[in-house]
Amino acid sequence: MKALSQRRRHPLAAVALLLMGLLITGGLYVAAGSVNEAKAASTYSASDIENGNKLFVANCATCHGLQAQGSVNGPSLIGVGAAAVDFQVGTGRMPMQMQGPQAPSKPVQFADVEVGQLAAFVASLGAGPAIPEHGVLDTTKGNSANGGTVFRVNCAMCHNAAAAGGALTRGKFAPALAGVSEKHIYEAMVTGPQNMPVFNDANITPDEKRDVITFLKEIETQGSPGGAKLGSLGPVSEGLFIWTAGLGVVIAFTIWLTSRPS
């Protein structure tokens, strides 16, 4: 100990400590990567990961880099998990047709098997949210009333209370949720695509996520029992429509009266 104390002021002591720190950090990173690869290998076959790598290089590497490390045209995908890939590719948002403020949903360009292979490859790169299991997507076990409460507190400010979607800033938007599959709704909550925040299990539990999905599917099947939806934007849009239509009728009647010969 005395010898170490005497050498702590040595000019190379700081360099030695830096090298030691780098070695420890590198070792932990390699160990974590090995654990994640082993976990991915237990979930996906080696052939799925290999085929996913080929699909990635052919279709995604231009923007995300050959090793998914990211570039000026696309973010890094290391650690985003299989759920992010399944959502983005499974809804047709990726690959993007052009650069823009947001990736819109469009026809899917890959078969389900290929989407799974891409998800397997990205999952092997770093730990992240997995594709949800059927149990958390079973709406027969969900509580629609509680799901409506959770949705209004956490989601309605962007997606609208009726899940009809809405405009955001700088050309971005929150999409309507009608017709979106249960799996993709769940994946959106755990991965936070576009401007959406990530709702992990500490924010919204898996049971609450299932309740939200149950609520969305229930209002989707209800239709509009009160008449025309008017965008499902609530009393403001309905009042504006009535005001505009009524004012138009008054103006038209006034023009008709003044145009009559005396």
Q: Do 147 and 220 sit in the same domain of this protein?
A: yes
Residue 10 annotated as binding site: no
Q: What is the pLDDT of residue 3?
A: 54
What secondary structure letter does DSSP report for 204?
Answer: S
User: Under a CB-based contact definition with an 8 Å cutoff, are residues 192 and 198 in contact?
Assistant: yes
Q: How many domains does the chain have?
A: 2
Q: Among all chains, which residue has been given the structure tokens 């956490």?
A: 154
CA 87 from chain center: how many Å? 7
- Is 237 domain-assigned? no
Residue 258: pLDDT band by 50, 70, 90 thresholds? confident
User: Under a CB-based contact definition with an 8 Å cutoff, are residues 39 and 120 in contact?
Assistant: no
- Is 222 domain-assigned? yes
- Is 143 domain-assigned? yes
Q: What is the pLDDT of residue 181?
A: 95
Q: What is the pLDDT of residue 120?
A: 96
Q: What is the pLDDT of residue 12?
A: 60
Nearest to residue 147, comparing CAs of 179, 185, 175, 197? 185
Cα-based torsion angle of the residue sequence 59, 60, 63, 66 in order, rounded to the nearest 10 degrees: -110
The 10s digit of each residue's pLDDT in 159-182 is 988 898 888 888 899 999 999 999
Q: Do 72 and 112 sit in the same domain of this protein?
A: yes
Lowest mean pLDDT among 37-41, 43-47, 164-168, 250-254: 37-41
Q: Which residues of 50-65 are buried (b: 16+ CB within 10 A; e: fewer)?
A: ebbbebbeebbbebbb
Single residue among 70, 105, 130 that ends a domain in this structure = 130
- pLDDT of residue 235 exceeding 80: no
Q: Do 64 and 99 sit in the same domain of this protein?
A: yes
Phi and psi for 202 in degrees, rounded to 5?
A: -80, -30
Number of residues written out for the chain: 262
- Is 65 domain-assigned? yes
Amino acid letter, 42? S
- pLDDT of residue 32 exceeding 50: no
- Is 20 domain-assigned? no
Residue 184 annotated as binding site: no
> In this predicted model, which residue has the larger pLDDT, 127 or 89?
89
Q: Do 140 and 120 sit in the same domain of this protein?
A: no
> In this predicted model, which residue has the larger pLDDT, 20 or 188?
188
Nearest to residue 46, comparing CAs of 123, 157, 145, 105? 123
Q: Do 153 and 185 sit in the same domain of this protein?
A: yes
Residue 209 to residue 200: CA distance in whole angstroms: 10
Nearest to residue 211, comparing CAs of 128, 159, 153, 127? 153
> In this predicted model, which residue has the larger pLDDT, 142 or 224?
142
**Preceding peptide of 101 cis, ω within 30°:** no
- Is 57 domain-assigned? yes
Q: Do 80 and 112 sit in the same domain of this protein?
A: yes
What secondary structure letter does DSSP report for 173?
Answer: E
- pLDDT of residue 53 exceeding 70: yes
SS3 content of the chain, % helix, strand, coil (to 5): 60, 0, 40
- Is 247 domain-assigned? no
Domain that holds residue 70: 44-130
Residue 64 annotated as binding site: yes
Arithmetic mean of pLDDT over the chain: 85
Give me the helix-helix angle, 206-222 and 182-191, nearest 10°. Answer: 130
Nearest to residue 123, comparing CAs of 13, 38, 219? 38
What secondary structure letter does DSSP report for 71?
Answer: B
Residue 11 to residue 13: CA distance in whole angstroms: 6
Residues 6+ apart with CB under 8 A from 64: 56, 70, 71, 74, 75, 76, 77
CATH for 62: 1.10.760.10
Can you tell me the mean pLDDT for 62-90?
94
Can you tell me the mean pLDDT for 243-250?
89
Lowest mean pLDDT among 33-47, 58-72, 99-113: 33-47
Decide: residue 182, CB within 10 A, 0-12 exposed, 13-18 middle, 19+ buried.
buried
Residue 134 annotated as binding site: no
The share of the chain scoring above pLDDT 70, in percent, equals 79
The 10s digit of each residue's pLDDT in 109-167 is 999 999 999 999 999 999 899 999 998 999 999 999 999 999 999 999 999 888 988 88
